[in-house]
């Protein structure tokens, strides 16, 4: 399945109908499928996936910065679909702080998170928003936050097709709900898989859950989906089962580098060795500080 990039879509949308029809991406937008928006580095290279029915759409994850959420909203509007639902897959700010921007643009849409995840968000989202938005220049982040509704069902329907919300599993945080769309042979792995970026390891190190993360990867790999959309990547990176290999390789590299390092400086150097080009560099300082607390 072809995945449109943010730039392709905006270019196509800007070109308008006639010119847009010449672009393969626009032809694809008329069919059922998925479109993925990958943010810029300032948005932490986070993926949001739009699941397209014929007339309606469901969005998985809502971006970090207001700017990226606004571009995602333009992409959804350009698809011509009515956005019905937004699922937030886990508690991390880069997947939810953009939500108000999307709800302003699509007020009919309902935002959800799995019950346990929603319960945590209800407690922490205000503090998280205050800390992050309060320390950034005005306009970088939405000026308010929205707690999604609790979703106890294990699926969302889109035009008669089931979108399976998998039970919470460990990835870069304790509770993540990947999304499986059997009718599209597509799995949205969200932050159980990354490719071409550093991984967010802070909580995993603090809670000693690398093993649990590895188990989740194998569980998702076993689904055998042809298209696998990771939580973070560079625009244009792979979206198939190779994202699992990339994540396992990073975890292996991380554990080996940690075992071979005596202090933070050594660990940082080893972690970056051969991986200087990876995105999401923001994660490095936090990984190092978690593994070798000052
Ligand atoms: Zn993330």
The per-residue pLDDT for range 32-50, each reduced to its tens digit, is 899 999 999 999 999 999 9
Do 153 and 195 lie in one domain? The reply is no
pLDDT above 90: residue 272 = yes
166 contacts 121 by C-beta, under 8 angstroms: no
What is the extent of the structural domain holding 117?
Answer: 1-165
Do 189 and 289 lie in one domain? The reply is yes
pLDDT band at 31 (very low <50, low <70, confident <90, very high): confident
CATH of the domain at 134: 3.60.15
Task: Indicate the burial class of 103 (C-beta count within 10 angstroms; 0-12, 13-18, 19 or more).
Answer: buried
Q: How far, in Å, from the CA of 58 to the mean position of ligand 1?
A: 19
Q: How far, in Å, from the CA of 48 to the mean position of ligand 1?
A: 10
Kindly list the distances between the CA atom of residue 160 and the CA atoms of 30, 54, 109, in Å, as whole numbers in the listed order: 18, 11, 18
Question: For residue 204, what are the contacts with CB-CB under 8 A and spacing of at least 6?
Answer: 172, 210, 213
In this structure, the strands spanning 110-114 and 149-151 are parallel
Q: How far, in Å, from the CA of 17 to the mean position of ligand 1?
A: 34
Q: Which residue has the tokens 């995840």?
A: 117
pLDDT above 90: residue 148 = yes
Q: Measured between alpha carbons, how far is 23 from 28 in angstroms, rounded to an integer?
A: 9
Interhelix angle for 66-79 vs 6-22, to 10°?
Answer: 30
Amino acid 1: pLDDT: 39
Q: How far, in Å, from the CA of 15 to the mean position of ligand 1?
A: 32
Q: How far, in Å, from the CA of 89 to the mean position of ligand 1?
A: 9
Among 143, 264, 140, 254, which residue's Cα sits nearest to residue 199?
Answer: 254
Do 66 and 212 lie in one domain? The reply is no
pLDDT above 70: residue 13 = no
Amino acid 282: pLDDT: 87
Do 194 and 252 lie in one domain? The reply is yes
Find the range with the poorest average confidence among 63-67, 90-94, 229-233, 280-284.
280-284
Q: How far, in Å, from the CA of 287 to the mean position of ligand 1?
A: 14
Do 146 and 290 lie in one domain? The reply is no
pLDDT band at 196 (very low <50, low <70, confident <90, very high): very high
Q: How far, in Å, from the CA of 114 to the mean position of ligand 1?
A: 17
Q: Which residues surround ligand 1, an ion (CB under 5 A)?
A: 92, 94, 191, 231
Q: What is the dihedral of CA 188, 43, 91, 234, to 10 degrees?
A: 30
Three-state secondary structure call for residue 231: strand
Do 145 and 176 lie in one domain? The reply is no
Do 105 and 178 lie in one domain? The reply is no
pLDDT above 50: residue 259 = yes
pLDDT over 90 for what percent of the chain? 87
pLDDT band at 238 (very low <50, low <70, confident <90, very high): very high
Task: Indicate the burial class of 238 (C-beta count within 10 angstroms; 0-12, 13-18, 19 or more).
Answer: middle
Amino acid 258: pLDDT: 96
**Which residue stretches of 36-114 are H helix?**
66-79, 99-105
Amino acid 17: pLDDT: 38
75 contacts 116 by C-beta, under 8 angstroms: no
Amino acid 25: pLDDT: 41
Query: Given 127, 150, 165, which residue is the final one in a domain?
Result: 165
Do 233 and 98 lie in one domain? The reply is no
Do 161 and 176 lie in one domain? The reply is no
Do 146 and 211 lie in one domain? The reply is no
Strand partners, 163: 156
Query: Given 150, 165, 180, which residue is the final one in a domain?
Result: 165
Q: Which two tokens stand for residue 231?
A: 């939580």
Sheet bearing 33-38, strands edge to edge: 33-38, 47-52, 56-60, 82-87, 110-114, 149-151
Do 287 and 186 lie in one domain? The reply is yes
Query: Given 136, 165, 194, which residue is the final one in a domain?
Result: 165
| Domain count of the fold of the chain | 2
Q: How far, in Å, from the CA of 67 to the mean position of ligand 1?
A: 17
Q: For the segment 160-173, what is each residue's pLDDT rounded down to a tens digit? A: 999 999 999 999 99
Do 113 and 130 lie in one domain? The reply is yes
Q: DSSP for 77-91, please give it.
A: HHHTPEEEEEE--SS
Beta strand ranges found along the chain (DSSP E): 33-38, 47-52, 56-60, 82-87, 110-114, 149-151, 155-158, 161-165, 179-181, 186-194, 227-232
């Amino acid at each position: 399945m072809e995945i449109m990039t943010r730039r392709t879509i905006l270019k196509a949308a800007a070109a308008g109908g006639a010119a847009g029809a010449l672009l393969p991406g626009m032809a694809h937008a008329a069919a059922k499928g998925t479109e993925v928006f990958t943010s810029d580095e300032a948005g932490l290279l986070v993926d949001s996936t739009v699941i397209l029915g014929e007339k309606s759409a469901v969005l998985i994850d809502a971006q970090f910065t207001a700017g990226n959420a606004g571009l995602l909203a333009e992409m959804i509007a350009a698809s011509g679909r009515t956005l019905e639902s937004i699922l937030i897959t886990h508690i991390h700010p880069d997947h939810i702080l953009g939500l108000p921007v999307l709800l302003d643009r699509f007020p009919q849409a309902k935002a959800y998170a799995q019950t346990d995840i929603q319960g945590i968000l209800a407690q922490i989202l205000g503090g998280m928003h205050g800390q992050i938005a309060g320390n950034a220049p005005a306009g970088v982040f939405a000026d308010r936050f929205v707690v999604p509704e609790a979703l106890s069902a294990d699926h969302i329907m889109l035009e008669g097709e089931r979108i399976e919300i998998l039970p919470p599993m460990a990835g870069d945080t304790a509770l993540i709900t990947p999304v499986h769309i059997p009718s599209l042979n597509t799995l949205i792995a969200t932050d159980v898989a990354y490719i071409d970026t550093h991984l967010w390891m802070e909580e995993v190190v603090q809670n000693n859950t690398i093993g649990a993360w590895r188990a989740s990867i194998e569980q998702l790999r076993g689904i055998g989906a042809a298209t696998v959309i990771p939580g973070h990547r560079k625009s244009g990176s792979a979206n198939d089962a190779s994202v699992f290999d990339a994540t396992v390789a990073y975890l292996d590299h991380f554990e080996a580098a940690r075992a071979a390092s005596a202090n933070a400086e050594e660990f940082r150097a080893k972690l970056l060795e051969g991986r200087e080009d990876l995105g999401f560099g923001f994660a490095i300082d936090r990984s190092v500080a978690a593994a070798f607390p000052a």
